[in-house]
């Protein structure tokens, strides 16, 4: 490469790394040689030399949930300018698989991790990373760990607004469909707080749980509709569950929203495409991914080595046809 460009190996290194100034004429000559020879830097050799892989792991519970690809897109767009790439691990919400992924990505030398889990504890993170690897926790309550930053949506405020909206439409028997055990705790808190402020109980108590899938929502709502008296409105803790609720209403011959109002959470793309279009709470996936990228990059590059930070993004209600 150096011989072809008629420069020193050091000059080629400066052009490739971008860390030292090189004249425009020399840089052009080296870049033309790179194109002519089809040269590709040896990433493995570079990582051994710099002790950095420029790779980030994103570990999520369910990649088939449309929320997570949107989040991954925000993460990738956010870390790319700093020269990083992301790879994605989908755990199926299995805590053993999450722990195995954590161990493996650490063994592979990733420079940072973005993690969404309903199950893992501070001890799990400490055991896997040794407390040395930058990690951003997304979703749910902030992780109580001095080195783990958190990015989350304001789930409680969003759930409160969703329930308050249904109350404002005259509903007094408002059910909730909760998510997997350990997930969406703030959403449940917001739902209960809004009902308590209105002097009403949850209906039923405790709310049924699903696996945050369309099929799970359909089954849960079929059971709710068998109650006497049945709910007149349902707040679902994610949009896939709410779309399943629309299915169950059709199965029962009920009109939405006249006979049954439905509200979801996440505002995935499908929420605006179903019939009737779904009232839902925005869970800003792309912004969460981008914010996680920013604060993770600050940790990885030494821009921030202070206490753990928590960033909470707003979760506004979007009113559509289902309520």
User: Same domain, yes or no, for 192 and 273?
Assistant: yes
User: Same domain, yes or no, for 126 and 68?
Assistant: yes
- Is residue 197 within 8 Å of 256, Cβ to Cβ? no
Q: Report the C-alpha gap between 125 and 108 in whole angstroms.
A: 16
Domain-located, residue 320: no
Tokens representing 25?
A: 């004429």
Q: Considering its fold, how many domains does the chain have in total?
A: 3
User: Same domain, yes or no, for 275 and 159?
Assistant: yes
Match 């011959």 to its residue by tokens. Answer: 253
Domain-located, residue 236: yes
Q: Is 93 helix (H, G, I), strand (E, B) or coil?
A: coil
Can you give the pTM of this predicted structure?
Answer: 0.82
Q: Report the C-alpha gap between 224 and 243 in whole angstroms.
A: 15
User: Same domain, yes or no, for 170 and 142?
Assistant: no
- Quick: pLDDT tens for 168-189: 999 999 999 999 988 889 999 9
Q: Average pLDDT, stretch 151-167?
A: 97
Domain-located, residue 247: yes
Domain-located, residue 122: yes
Residue 49 confidence class, pLDDT cut points 50, 70, 90: very low
- Quick: pLDDT tens for 260-284: 999 999 999 999 999 999 999 999 9
Phi, then psi, of 138 in degrees rounded to 5: -115, 140
User: Same domain, yes or no, for 241 and 92?
Assistant: no
- Quick: pLDDT tens for 217-263: 999 999 999 999 999 999 999 999 999 999 999 999 999 999 999 99
Domain extent, residue 257, equals 155-282
User: Same domain, yes or no, for 172 and 252?
Assistant: yes
User: Same domain, yes or no, for 197 and 308?
Assistant: no
- Is residue 270 within 8 Å of 247, Cβ to Cβ? no
Tokens representing 191?
A: 């739902």
> What's residue 44's pLDDT?
41
Q: Report the C-alpha gap between 149 and 175 in whole angstroms.
A: 34
Residue 67 confidence class, pLDDT cut points 50, 70, 90: very high
User: Same domain, yes or no, for 232 and 302?
Assistant: no
Residue 23 confidence class, pLDDT cut points 50, 70, 90: confident
User: Same domain, yes or no, for 139 and 23?
Assistant: no
- Listed in sequence order, the DSSP H helices in the chain are 2-5, 9-17, 24-37, 43-50, 67-79, 95-107, 122-129, 155-168, 185-197, 214-224, 239-251, 285-300
C-alpha distances in Å from residue 13, one per residue of 10, 18, 27: 5, 8, 11
């Amino acid at each position: 490469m150096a011989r072809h460009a008629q420069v020193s190996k050091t000059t080629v290194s400066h052009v490739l790394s971008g860390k030292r100034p090189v004249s425009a004429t020399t840089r052009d000559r080296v870049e033309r040689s790179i194109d002519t020879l089809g040269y590709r830097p040896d990433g493995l050799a570079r990582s051994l030399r710099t002790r950095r892989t420029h790779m980030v792991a994103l570990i999520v519970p369910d990649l088939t949930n449309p929320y997570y690809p949107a989040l991954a897109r925000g993460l990738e767009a956010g870390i790319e300018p700093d020269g990083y790439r992301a790879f994605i691990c989908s755990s199926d919400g299995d805590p053993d698989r999450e722990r195995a992924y954590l161990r493996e990505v650490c063994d592979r030398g990733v420079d940072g991790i973005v993690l969404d889990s309903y199950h893992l504890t501070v001890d799990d993170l400490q055991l896997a990373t040794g407390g040395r690897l930058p990690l951003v926790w997304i979703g749910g309550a902030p992780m109580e760990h001095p080195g783990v930053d958190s990015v989350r949506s304001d789930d409680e405020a969003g759930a409160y607004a969703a329930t308050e909206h249904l109350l404002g439409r005259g509903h007094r028997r408002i059910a909730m469909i909760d998510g997997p055990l350990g997930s969406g705790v703030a959403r449940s808190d917001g739902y209960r707080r809004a009902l308590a402020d209105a002097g009403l109980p949850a209906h039923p108590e405790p709310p049924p749980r699903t696996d945050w899938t369309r099929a799970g929502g359909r089954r849960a709502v079929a059971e709710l509709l068998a109650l006497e008296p049945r709910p007149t409105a349902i707040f679902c803790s994610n949009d896939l569950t709410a779309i399943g609720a629309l299915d169950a209403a059709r199965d029962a011959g009920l009109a939405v929203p006249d006979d049954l109002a439905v509200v979801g959470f996440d505002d995935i793309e499908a929420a605006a495409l179903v019939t009737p279009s779904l009232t839902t709470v925005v869970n800003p996936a792309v912004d969460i991914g981008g914010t996680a990228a920013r604060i993770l990059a600050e940790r990885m590059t030494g821009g921030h080595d202070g206490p753990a930070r928590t960033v909470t993004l707003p979760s506004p209600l979007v009113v559509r046809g289902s309520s």
